[in-house]
């Protein structure tokens, strides 16, 4: 069985190592079975550290999170109904904790059972893609061991994105956008059957079944990893751009502006001079720059932008930046941060 202990000790910062070991220690005191899963495990296997950790608790995630708050200085948010909790620590560490799901999923190939391993397998089956179904034990006797029920390790090695079952997009249309985002961010290829299901879902207009609010949350993620232009072009290729950004003409001139902005922000990110959430508004300033006032208000409502976000974009656009000049995007960025008009 693959064990991540060497990577935990070599690729994670001492702070993250200490947190994981402490969580493991606390779990052993309460006899909770606990696993980290999803993007954190995927990124660690790709030799990258993520400060957002998804924990699966075979017990009560809410109770365990409350226990951690007695020793961790953090902000706690819980949802008793769904058995979830979020711990926000200092320096950007975030722990999303879920109680291992007990509901039976007929597609998972797990018999109705309350065993911890079956609960873990059933919970992992709810993930979007196989590369996110990997779990790593934080339990004392098995610390670092990887659980791979659905071929995630092989797909990660082959740089392949694969859904877990044929009705995946129908069950959650947002997976269409997540697949496109991961494809571009990770530079992975889409497995043939998954690609067929993707095009079938697009042809059947599955994405229209998602709420505007949930689409808004997914779209924001497009602008946080310096692959925004690639994602937008992929949306155009799949005939999804106009569905998500109606009335915006993604022509060559606008693409040049977006590429310029992305390069500026990537250089700034190396100096940690801004928060990545600011990228969303800066990109929208460019995407909205040629819209009429009527279309601007339509898009703000269509994308479910918050009131302060609308105000910030409107304030920026009223300055009438000359994007025909080479330094137009740089002026936009400098003005945005100099005036500190960030909603976050």
Domain identity same for 135 and 259? no
Q: Last residue of some domain: 123, 138, 158?
A: 158
In a domain, 184, yes or no: no
Question: Residue 179's pLDDT is what?
Answer: 98
Question: Residue 344's pLDDT is what?
Answer: 47
- Residue 343 DSSP SS3: coil
Question: What pTM value is reported for the model?
Answer: 0.90
Q: Which residues are CB-neighbours of 112 under 8 A, at least 6 positions away?
A: 104
* Number of domains forming the structure of the chain: 2
**Cα–Cα distance for residue pair 115/270, rounded to 1 Å:** 46
In a domain, 179, yes or no: no
CATH number of the domain that residue 24 is part of: 3.30.460.10
Question: Residue 339's pLDDT is what?
Answer: 67
Domain identity same for 20 and 144? yes
Q: Choose among 152, 115, 96: nearest CA to 33.
A: 115
Mean pLDDT by 10 residues, the chain (344 residues): 91 92 89 91 93 90 90 88 89 88 54 70 93 95 95 97 97 97 97 98 96 96 92 97 96 94 84 70 94 96 94 91 85 82 51
CATH number of the domain that residue 265 is part of: 1.10.3090.10
- Residue 188 DSSP SS3: coil
Question: Residue 108's pLDDT is what?
Answer: 47
- Residue 40 DSSP SS3: helix
Domain identity same for 284 and 148? no
Orientation of helix 328-338 relative to helix 277-287, angle to 10°: 130
Domain identity same for 148 and 273? no
DSSP 8-state class, residue 47:
T
Domain identity same for 232 and 153? no
Domain identity same for 149 and 264? no
Domain identity same for 237 and 109? no
Residue with tokens 């602008």: 223
Question: Residue 260's pLDDT is what?
Answer: 93
Within 10 A of 108 (CB to CB), how many other CB atoms are there? 18
What is the domain extent for residue 84?
5-158
CA quadruple 59, 63, 66, 67: dihedral sign = negative
Q: Which residues are CB-neighbours of 116 under 8 A, at least 6 positions away?
A: 33, 58, 100
In a domain, 190, yes or no: no
In a domain, 314, yes or no: yes
**Cα–Cα distance for residue pair 57/59, rounded to 1 Å:** 5
In a domain, 290, yes or no: yes
Domain identity same for 240 and 144? no
User: For 88-94, which contacts have Cβ atoms below 8 Å and span 24 or more sequence positions?
Assistant: 89/19, 91/15, 91/51, 92/51, 93/15, 93/16, 93/19, 93/51, 93/53, 94/51, 94/52, 94/53
Q: Last residue of some domain: 158, 183, 201?
A: 158
Q: Choose among 111, 194, 122: nearest CA to 155.
A: 194
Q: Last residue of some domain: 158, 185, 210?
A: 158
In a domain, 75, yes or no: yes
pLDDT tens profile 139-151: 999 999 999 999 9
**Cα–Cα distance for residue pair 259/264, rounded to 1 Å:** 9
Domain identity same for 18 and 150? yes
In a domain, 221, yes or no: no
Domain identity same for 153 and 238? no
Q: What is the tally of helices (H) and strands (E) in the chain?
A: 17, 9
**Cα–Cα distance for residue pair 2/318, rounded to 1 Å:** 56
In a domain, 182, yes or no: no
Within 10 A of 2 (CB to CB), how many other CB atoms are there? 13
Residues in the chain: 344
Question: Residue 30's pLDDT is what?
Answer: 79
Q: 99 - beta bridge partners?
A: 57
Domain identity same for 242 and 152? no
Domain identity same for 237 and 148? no
**Cα–Cα distance for residue pair 127/131, rounded to 1 Å:** 9
Structure tokens at 45: 């296997």
């Amino acid at each position: 069985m693959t064990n991540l202990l060497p990577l935990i000790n070599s690729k994670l910062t001492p702070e993250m190592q200490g947190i994981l070991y402490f969580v493991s220690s606390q779990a052993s005191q309460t006899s909770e079975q606990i696993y980290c899963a999803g993007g954190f495990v995927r990124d660690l296997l790709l030799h990258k550290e993520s400060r957002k950790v998804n924990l699966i608790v075979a017990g009560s995630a809410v109770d365990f999170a409350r226990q951690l708050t007695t020793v961790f200085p953090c902000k706690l948010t819980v949802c008793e109904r769904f058995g979830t909790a979020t711990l926000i620590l200092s320096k950007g560490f975030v722990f999303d904790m879920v109680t291992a799901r007990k509901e039976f999923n007929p597609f998972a190939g797990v018999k109705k059972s309350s065993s911890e391993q079956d609960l873990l397998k059933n919970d992992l089956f709810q993930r979007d893609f196989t590369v996110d179904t990997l779990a790593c034990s934080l339990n004392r006797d098995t610390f670092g061991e990887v659980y791979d029920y659905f071929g995630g390790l092989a797909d990660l090695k082959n740089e392949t994105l694969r859904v877990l079952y044929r009705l995946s997009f129908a069950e959650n249309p947002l997976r269409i956008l997540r697949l496109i985002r991961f494809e571009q961010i990770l530079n992975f290829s889409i497995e043939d059957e998954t690609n067929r299901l993707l095009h079938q879902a697009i042809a059947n207009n599955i994405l229209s079944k998602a709420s505007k609010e949930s689409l808004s949350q997914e779209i924001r993620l497009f602008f946080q990893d310096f692959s925004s232009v690639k994602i937008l072009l992929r949306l155009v290729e799949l005939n999804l751009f106009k569905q998500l950004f109606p009335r915006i003409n993604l022509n060559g001139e606008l693409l040049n502006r977006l590429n310029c902005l992305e390069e500026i922000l990537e250089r700034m990110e190396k100096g940690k001079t801004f928060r990545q959430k600011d990228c969303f508004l800066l990109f929208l300033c460019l995407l909205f720059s040629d819209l009429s006032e009527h279309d601007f208000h339509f898009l703000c409502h269509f994308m479910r932008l918050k009131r302060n976000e609308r105000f910030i974009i409107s304030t920026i656009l009223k300055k009438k930046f000359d994007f025909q000049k080479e330094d137009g995007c740089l002026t936009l960025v400098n003005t945005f941060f100099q005036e500190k008009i960030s909603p976050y």
